[in-house]
A and B are shown apart, each in its own frame.
Chain A
């Protein structure tokens, strides 16, 4: 018997290892449902889940919706661009409206860091952070942990190198919190202007030369270069970035021979990752997507499956 202790899933920073492991173990049990001819279990029948996305998304939103449907929950989705927000309604009023319609769970992506925490205090519905600004993307962190654990059998002691725009990456933040709590040794590599400060305090080593970071790596995790957040002149040019940091076959060969290659998507092929490795034998990029559905099914089951107080 086990339950998750919290109402919302907002960040991995505030989650302990036991909770994360419960989610990963539950996902492992649910993974098989995705391969069935009839992909449906009745567990969340009668629960309603609203996805509320203020930023573009293909995989995260669809992944949550598929996960909800496989568990028999009802879903509705709102894109900010077609909602009453464009008429000037505040986030608070929109949230209260969704709650008044009987939403049991709101999955939100928003451009402002901390907005999911704000929402969670306003509503009784469970809130799942699907990415808030440059803060966290906890379900991505969990699906990355799940994918790595499935291939390596464990997380503790693994050497994981995160490459690219760590400064703007909520994925990197969630991965760093989750993986370091699980005992992995995480380091980051990228241009000095795109690496955050204070990483040493959380036990993460920073490298500005990718070639120095890669030797001995069990996992090479490539981040998307967030072109939409590059207005401040932190990069001279995409071409220079690609020349120094694009993960290609030559660079990947510096890591362990059985190193895993991951990317949260969407990819800029030829910028942060080359096509030959993205489609190569070491790549788990497509499998990450399937893992995402399993992990989100587990989270929805653990948040919504039991009695509410």
Chain B
């Protein structure tokens, strides 16, 4: 699940694939695509997946308000309880709260995450959303699609497609958590195992 906690291990940054401006432009384009595709923002809601999907969803909400002059409801989804690897991890992930303070019934949900990789996070998020209600549709927006899917899942809105090898880590850095806006590719040295 895309959260690069590995930079402490002396991981090497290979390339910066998006800088602040590129992230901003990608989010603007995605916002326009969402509005166009849904013919406005009626019955639309944004749901960010913890952690980095949350600030991305919040930014999309702001941009959509700028364009359409209307507020779109936004929720936060924690998918820990729906992970498929709980029983194989010795360290349990901390459960954080889910906050979707509106009904999802008959709503077009835009699920937002930073990186689409194996698709397992999205599978968990879909299950979590279905337990909260019956949305009319669920669409997926991601900042980066790096390939290597293990499940039949695709994104509807993509900031940037980035071909990667499994040895690489795509790290999305956002002001809210990391003090900068950028997307970088890191690679493990000899220490490396595979982390999503």
Contacts and interface: CB of A to CB of B under 8 A. Distances in A.
A interacts with B:
yes
Interface of A: 1-3, 22, 25-26, 28-32, 36-38, 40-43, 71, 298, 301-302, 305-307, 309
B94 interface: yes
Interface in B90-109: 90-99
A42 B81 contact: yes
Given A3-B90, A306-B89, A307-B87, A41 B97 contact: no
B131 A43 contact: no
B88 interface: yes
Given A29-B78, A43-B86, A305 B92 contact: yes
A302 B99 contact: no
B67 interface: no
B97 A28 contact: yes
B82 interface: yes
Interface of B: 78, 81-82, 86-99, 127-128, 131-133
B131 A38 contact: yes
B94 A1 contact: yes
B88 A307 contact: yes
Contacts of A30: 95
A262 to B, nearest CB: 24
Contacts of A1: 91-94
A170 B87 CA distance: 34
Nearest to A46: B87
A3 B91 contact: yes
Given A28-B97, A307-B86, 14 more contacts: A1-B91, A1-B92, A2-B91, A2-B92, A29-B95, A29-B98, A30-B95, A32-B98, A41-B82, A41-B128, A42-B127, A43-B86, A301-B81, A306-B90
Contacts of B133: 37
Contacts of B78: 29
Q: Which 8 pairs across A and B sit closest by C-beta, in order of nearness?
A: A306-B92, A41-B81, A29-B97, A43-B81, A29-B95, A1-B91, A3-B92, A2-B94
14 contacts: A1-B92, A2-B94, A3-B90, A22-B94, A26-B94, A31-B97, A36-B132, A37-B133, A38-B132, A41-B82, A43-B86, A305-B86, A306-B86, A306-B91
Contacts of B82: 41-43
Contact of B87 (A28, A29, A306): A306
A304 B132 CA distance: 24
Given A36-B132, A41-B81, A307 B90 contact: yes
B80 to A, nearest CB: 8
A2 B90 CA distance: 10
A41 B124 CA distance: 11
Central interface residue in B86, B91, B98, B128, by most chain A CB within 10 Å: B86
B144 to A, nearest CB: 24
A71 B86 CA distance: 13
Nearest to A27: B95
B99 A32 contact: yes
Contacts of A3: 90-92
A40 B128 CA distance: 10
Nearest to B92: A306
A307 to B, nearest CB: 5
Nearest to A4: B92
B74 to A, nearest CB: 16
